[in-house]
Amino acid sequence: MNKIYSIKVAGAAGQGIKSTGAKLAKFVSGHGLNVYNYHEYPSLIRGGHNTVQTMFSLDPVNSPIQKLDVLVAFNQESIDLHLSELNPEGILIYDEKMEAPKIESGIKIFPAPLSEIEKGFEAIKKIVVDNLLNNLDMSRDNNKIVITGAEAIGSAAIAAGLQFSAIYPMSPISGILDHIAKYQEKYGYLYKQPEDEIAAINMCIGASFAGARAMTATSGGGFCLMTEGYGLAGITETPIVIILGMRPGPATGLPTWNEQGDLQFVLNAHQGDFPRIVLAAGDSEEAFNLTLIAFNLAERYTCPVVVLVDKNICEHEQSFKPFEYAKYQIETPNRRLPGTGIHFVANSDEHDDEGFSTESAQIRVTQMKKRMDKLEVCAKNDMPSPQLVGPALADLTIVSWGSCKGAILDAMQSFPNVNFLHLTWFSPFPAQAVGEILAKAKNILAIEQNYSGQMTRLIREKTGIEIKNKLLKYDGRMFYREEIEEAINVSLRAAAKQSL
Amino acid sequence: MTANDLNTKIFPNWCPGCGNFGIWAAFKNAAVAQNWDNTNTVIVAGIGCHSHIINFVNLTAFEGLHGRALPVATGIKLANHKLNVFVFTGDGDCLGEGGNHFIHACRRNINLTILLHDNAVYGLTTGQTSPTSPCSYTSRSTPGGNIDSPLNPIALAIASGATFVARAYSTDIKSLSQILIDANNHDGLAVVDIMQPCVTFNKDYTHNFFQTSSYQLGEDYDPTNKIKALEKSFEWAGDNSKIPLGIIYKENRPSYESQLPQLKNGPLVSVPATKRDISSLFRV
């Protein structure tokens, strides 16, 4: 295993922390290294404490680790808060305008002109290369892209033939909006800033009704407002893609932090029953692929398709091989469109085939069945088997979803006897396949970033299997690789003890 | 095409004497005169007594949610701006549930025509006070009399940036038809506040009240003066005053969609969605 390097850049919001971290990621990726950037920041524009932690290695790296090789401190607070995370032989870079820190240990200390962004970055780079990376071959070619999930999703929508988008700004999906708004003239689609999320989803429904491929995005709070439009798309059978970037709730919650607390909400939101396709990505590459698929599924089944991502995916840069979409083909609309000379009504009231309102019991039943059958057809024709990563037979099977994937994959490097069931389809749900995998598992550990184990509850509902061994985190912070390693060790020890 | 060609298999189920019949007739007459048909026109409705009109006019329609007709119509217009898009909405739909959408539609100046069925009462829910109900109005929701001040849709539309604002009376079918034609021909957001009686639940705003308390604006009235139009919008029935009918405000300002470079070569949907090469977007 190759070393994972870890550099934390810390300071006040507005000091250039985020851009320094992004530059570092591009720099190391430019030398052929794999990189993952972890951002922590409060919901403020200036002031408040910001950090970016850059992990990089010759091996794949998908999550943060707890220890630092380098701490770049833009202010004294950063030293006070993070010095304990620095390895004993680590490097501390501080702003030369600060008083030189007095540290009695093996830590190497360097001043740098951090208040000047460009000059500061060059100084950081030189210190890091000379003192940390001196044994690393830096002549490797770069064949990687460095991308956030927001950019991946926005790019996927553009590739998928997006024609109309209305997105109200909200963390953590504002990056999707920024990306889509920026390229609208270049690619000829339209982004409209709406007055609220209710308008966002209704504008997209209107545009889709008129024949445009339409997408909106929001976080949980905005999705509360979209809930009525969600069902409207269902009953009017209007294709629409909704990206939901999760953050901790309820209400305003922790606006700039991470959670996976909206799964049950998205699966159950809105009154009554209607078909909804719900997919969830574990990283930016999956977010890219699922966004592409979502547009086609929406068109094929004329219903809303939600792609769940979370703050970690939306905002963290990671290096990937350039995403592959050569085989992607656009599903052409096979539905009635306005302005084509035919009469029809898209109706939020129950309706007959032409769309006229009706309260006929017989038509109601026919229409409900017609709509709800879509999920069964989708499950049969489009839903892939869930991925089981690692050996087919293992001492422990981890089940998880969303951005927990990264830390789990990284932790599994130390455990050849552990496998991982990563779920990406939630409606329809691959109940049979999940049930079979879990029935065979010797021991199970469910990992989620929410309080109540929302995926675990769904697994029980769909398969009857109750998973008692759960690692649940809901403090807004990302899973570190070490936390997962510890949970695996605890699970394996408990299993060994039980089998004695 | 005749007005009868625009009828559907369903005959309107509004109460006998409802103002909606006049709006229905006036709209069909305007459609015949202007050749609004399924090749060029879409109607959008919210929810309320007004929204049943989608069942009674043989034009492609979207009946959305209560208060949400305007964002749906905005999406339709931006996706296919060659379509005539008419928004049927009510005083509760447009000014209560959908008030936020109304002010933003006005300021955007998208080329939509709003037909605001304004009977100052919630009819479909059997008679509660609406945003345009007068003070002291008694209803099931205000048995002791309404204390809220009524909204003035004309003043609100002008202040919010609408560029064509008119008031009509539902039973004057001929005038209403002409105003609807003018409103649709206007390049920008057009609001037509249509005073209509609710014969079942509003005993104050009756046919007789509207007929005796309103007057048509004359040739001498200049609708292009915004301040004068705002003053005019506050005229209402009183001892020495009546309710003005006609075009109260008109302004030439570029419509939203006329300013979008993406729409210069035709509607967004005139070109089928195509897969795009995004390799230049990946940061290496």
Partner residue opposite A159 with nearest CB, options B52, B104, B278: B278
Put simply, the chain B residues between 64 and 123 with a CB less than 8 A from any chain A CB are: 64-65, 68, 70-80, 82-83, 100-101, 104
Distance CA A181, CA A192 (A): 8
Residues of chain A with Cβ-Cβ distance to B274 below 8 Å are: 161, 330
Sheet of A444-448: strand order equals A387-389, A418-423, A396-401, A444-448, A470-472
A65 and A103, same structural domain?
yes
C-alpha separations of A323 from A187, A292, A318, A410 in Å? 19, 11, 12, 21
- Cβ(B120)–Cβ(B150) below 8 Å: yes
Q: Which of the listed residues A364, A381, A398 is the one where a domain comes to its end?
A: A381
Adjacent-strand bridge partners of A36: A55, A318
Sign (positive/negative) of CA torsion A113, A117, A119, A123?
Answer: positive
A135 and A185, same structural domain?
no
Average pLDDT value for residue range A245-253: 97
B140: phi then psi, degrees, rounded to nearest 5? -60, -30
A41: phi then psi, degrees, rounded to nearest 5? -160, 155
Output the tens digit of pLDDT for each of chain B's 284 residues. 899 999 999 999 999 999 999 999 999 999 999 999 999 999 999 999 999 999 999 999 999 999 999 999 999 999 999 999 999 999 999 999 999 999 999 999 999 999 999 999 999 999 999 999 999 999 999 999 999 999 999 999 999 999 999 999 999 999 999 999 999 999 999 999 999 999 999 999 999 999 999 999 999 999 999 999 999 999 999 999 999 999 999 999 999 999 999 999 999 999 999 999 999 998 65
| The pairing of beta strand B164-169 with beta strand B243-250 | antiparallel
Adjacent-strand bridge partners of A68: A86
Average pLDDT value for residue range A142-159: 95
Partner residue opposite B40 with nearest CB, options A236, A339, A357: A339
A156 and A137, same structural domain?
no
How far is B140 from chain A, CA to nearest CA, in Å? 26
Distance CA B153, CA B155 (A): 6
Q: Which of the listed residues A142, A161, A176 is the one where a domain comes to its end?
A: A142
A75 and A10, same structural domain?
yes
Average pLDDT value for residue range A464-492: 97
A27 and A65, same structural domain?
yes
Q: Which of the listed residues A112, A142, A172 is the one where a domain comes to its end?
A: A142
Structure token pair of residue A16:
């250039």
DSSP per-residue letters across A30-95: TTT-EEEEEEE--S-SSSSEEEEEEEEESS---S--S-EEEEEESSHHHHHHHGGGEEEEEEEEEE
Say whether the ipTM exceeds 0.85. Answer: yes
Is B227 in the A-facing interface, judged by CB distances under 8 Å?
Answer: no
Distance CA B106, CA B161 (A): 5
Q: What is the pLDDT of residue A500?
A: 75
* Interchain pair B8, A145: CB under 8 A: no
DSSP per-residue letters across A121-170: HHHHHHHHHHHTSTTS---PPP--EEE-HHHHHHHHHHHTT--EEE----
Residue A45 has pLDDT above 80, yes or no: no
* Interchain pair A206, B282: CB under 8 A: no
Which single residue is written with the structure tokens 């003239």? Answer: A185
Is B53 in the A-facing interface, judged by CB distances under 8 Å?
Answer: no
Distance CA B28, CA B48 (A): 20
Adjacent-strand bridge partners of A478: none
Count how many domains chain A has: 3
> Which one, of B196, B131, B188, B149, lies nearest residue B165 by Cα?
B188
A193 and A318, same structural domain?
yes
Q: What is the pLDDT of residue A138?
A: 80
Q: Which residues of A322-334 are buried (b: 16+ CB within 10 A; e: fewer)?
A: ebebeebebbebe
Q: What is the pLDDT of residue B186?
A: 98
A373 and A405, same structural domain?
no
A287 and A261, same structural domain?
yes
For chain A, the average pLDDT equals 96
- Cβ(B163)–Cβ(B189) below 8 Å: yes
Is B7 in the A-facing interface, judged by CB distances under 8 Å?
Answer: no
* Interchain pair B268, A189: CB under 8 A: yes
Which single residue is written with the structure tokens 């959008």? Answer: B44
In sequence order, the 6+-apart residues with CB closer than 8 A to the CB of B5 are: B32, B58
A275 and A184, same structural domain?
yes
Residues of chain A with Cβ-Cβ distance to B77 below 8 Å are: 206
> Strand runs (DSSP E) across B41-133, as ranges?
41-45, 61-63, 84-90, 113-118, 121-122, 128-129
Domain harbouring A57, CATH code: 3.40.920.10
A472 and A417, same structural domain?
yes
Distance CA A230, CA B175 (A): 40
Sheet of B243-250: strand order equals A345-347, B61-63, B41-45, B84-90, B113-118, B190-195, B164-169, B243-250, B214-216
Distance CA A431, CA A426 (A): 9
Residues of chain B with Cβ-Cβ distance to A346 below 8 Å are: 61-63
Which single residue is written with the structure tokens 């059958």? Answer: A373
* Interchain pair B79, A164: CB under 8 A: yes
| The pairing of beta strand A5-12 with beta strand B164-169 | unpaired
A132: containing domain: 5-142
Domain harbouring A289, CATH code: 3.40.50.970
* Interchain pair B104, A199: CB under 8 A: yes
Domain harbouring A459, CATH code: 3.40.50.920
* Interchain pair B38, A343: CB under 8 A: yes
Q: What is the pLDDT of residue B284?
A: 54
- Model-level pTM? 0.97
Structure token pair of residue A344:
């029809």
Instruction: Tell me the Ramachandran region of residue B44: left when phi exceeds 0, alpha when psi lies from -120 to 50, beta otherwise.
Output: beta
User: Which of A202, A295, A323 has the most B C-beta neighbours within 10 Å, making it the best mutation to test the interface with B?
Assistant: A202
User: Which of B6, B37, B78, B265 has the most A C-beta neighbours within 10 Å, making it the best mutation to test the interface with A?
Assistant: B78
A423 and A321, same structural domain?
no
Partner residue opposite B39 with nearest CB, options A187, A328, A339: A339
* Interchain pair A212, B269: CB under 8 A: yes
Q: What is the pLDDT of residue B283?
A: 61
Adjacent-strand bridge partners of B115: B88, B192
- Cβ(A486)–Cβ(A296) below 8 Å: no
Q: What is the pLDDT of residue A104?
A: 78
* Interchain pair B273, A196: CB under 8 A: no
* Interchain pair A164, B268: CB under 8 A: yes
Structure token pair of residue B261:
């470079």
Residue B184's identity, in one-letter code, is: N
Q: Which residues of A464-477 are buried (b: 16+ CB within 10 A; e: fewer)?
A: ebebebbbebbebb
* Interchain pair A206, B261: CB under 8 A: no
Question: What is the H or E stretch that residue A233 is in?
Answer: helix A220-236
- Give me the domains of chain B, ranges plus CATH numbers: 3-282 (3.40.50.970)
Residue A68's identity, in one-letter code, is: L
How deeply is A165 buried, as exposed, middle or buried, from its count of CB atoms within 10 A (0-12, 13-18, 19+)? buried
Residue B154's identity, in one-letter code, is: I
A358 and A338, same structural domain?
yes
Partner residue opposite B79 with nearest CB, options A159, A163, A202: A163
Distance CA B75, CA B64 (A): 12
Is B278 in the A-facing interface, judged by CB distances under 8 Å?
Answer: yes
Residues of chain B with Cβ-Cβ distance to A239 below 8 Å are: none
- Cβ(B269)–Cβ(B79) below 8 Å: yes
| The pairing of beta strand B84-90 with beta strand B41-45 | parallel
Average pLDDT value for residue range A175-180: 98
| The pairing of beta strand A68-73 with beta strand A5-12 | parallel
